[in-house]
Amino acid sequence: MRFGIIGTSWITERFILAGRESEEFTLSAIYSRTEEKGNVFATKYNIPMVYTNLEEMVSSNEIDAVYIASPNSSHAKQAIICMNHGKHVLCEKPMASNVREMQEMIDTAQKNDVLLMEAMKSTLMPSFKIMKDNLYKIGRIRRYFASFCRYSSSYEELEKGNIPNVFNLSYSNGSLMDLGVYCIYPMVTLFGKPQSVKATGVLLSTGADGEGSMVMQYGKMDAVIMHSKIADSFLPIEIQGENGTMVIDKISSPEDVKIHYGDGTIEDLNQPDIHKPMYYEIQEFIELIQLGQRESSVNTLANSLAVAEIMEEVRRQMGVKYPADLLK
């Protein structure tokens, strides 16, 4: 599978290193806004072709698929260009700025008969399947709790009067989009879309959210989510059932999974991952294309749309608006 990539950030570097663990992965081209940065990146990772024009890259017969790791605000436009040229798209989370963009991306994928998949790595890691397969052991589930709070050095830049990208509304950024999505997507994958959402958050000087909390109702269970880029948290993730509680070390890249039963016993469900975390999403994407399938059974388009709907409602309640929300 011959990939073109968009973006030269640290996440792209991790993608390349994980992809090269797969025998089916080939890196053919990179798109960068500047030729200088593109050439430096291409030299470092031995990428044959460098483009500064996206249309030219996706018109190439040397590329089968495109991995998008640009700013959130660029995802939809770039993905649609790629798909309109018949390229399959693996797009970093969050896949779109809002529901309108997400629906346009889905419509474009279906119109062009190409695969579109959100690059949420955690739900495709072996440990997540272990979580899902063992949920029945904890009985009737009463609560899903997830926290992803990581203090960002970019906050210090903001305090100095600068506007770092991670807190820039023009890039559709903020704590919810950067970290909160990691908590929401597994929840939707396991339990579907909640019946109701209540959200609050702290807005920073740019209008972006620095942190937030959500309580969501599923009838006879609820979900509690906390996210932050202005404070740290060291809490594990819990799925609480009447017969026991499943405890997971971290929601963005789960590795340590245990069940604590009511009688005090603990069941260790850990199985060592033999590949880098992003390998599994890449392999899923490649195998789907090889099988002629146009949607993942885990990172489904319905799940991505539901997550986008939840996040748009959360932003509405927090008062966070992106320039992308005003476009038609």
Q: How far apart are CA 113 and CA 149, in angstroms?
A: 38
Tokens of 101: 């963009």
- How, if at all, do strands 244-248 and 237-241 pair? antiparallel
What is the spatial order of strands in the sheet that 237-241 belongs to?
Answer: 196-203, 209-217, 222-228, 141-149, 237-241, 244-248, 257-261, 266-268
Residue 196: per-residue pLDDT? 98
Burial of 283 (0-12, 13-18, 19+ CB in 10 A): buried
pLDDT of residue 327: 77
Rounded to two decimals, what is the model's pTM? Answer: 0.96
Segment 232-236 long-range contacts (CB within 8 Å, at least 24 positions apart): 232/149, 232/150, 232/151, 233/147, 233/148, 233/149, 233/150, 235/147
The per-residue pLDDT for range 16-68, each reduced to its tens digit, is 999 999 999 999 999 998 899 999 999 999 999 999 999 999 999 999 999 99
Burial of residue 268, with CB atoms counted within 10 A of its CB: 0-12 exposed, 13-18 middle, 19 or more buried: exposed
Report the run of H or E that residue 131 belongs to, with start and end: helix 126-134
> Measured between alpha carbons, how far is 84 from 112 in angstroms, rounded to an integer?
6
- Are 155 and 269 in contact by the 8 Å Cβ rule? The answer is no
Measure the CA–CA gap between 258 and 131, rounded to whole angstroms: 9
Residue 259 confidence class, pLDDT cut points 50, 70, 90? very high
What is the Cα gyration radius of the chain? Answer: 20
Q: Is the predicted pLDDT of residue 202 greater than 90, yes or no? A: yes
- Mean pLDDT (whole number) for 159-182: 96
Segment (H or E) for 157: helix 154-159
pLDDT at 292 > cutoff 90: yes
Alpha-carbon gap, residue 197 to 174, rounded angstroms: 19
Token output for 306: 């539901």
Of 301, 267, 289, give the one whose Cα is nearest residue 106. Answer: 301
Per-residue pLDDT reduced to its tens digit, 103-147 = 999 999 999 999 999 999 999 999 999 999 999 999 999 999 999
Extract the runs of DSSP E, i.e. beta strands, from 164-236.
Answer: 196-203, 209-217, 222-228
Geometric angle at alpha carbon 280, from 138 and 277, rounded to 5°: 80
pLDDT score of 224: 98
pLDDT in tens, 262-279: 999 999 999 887 899 999
pLDDT of residue 271: 82
Question: Beta partners for 201?
Answer: 212
pLDDT score at 328:
63
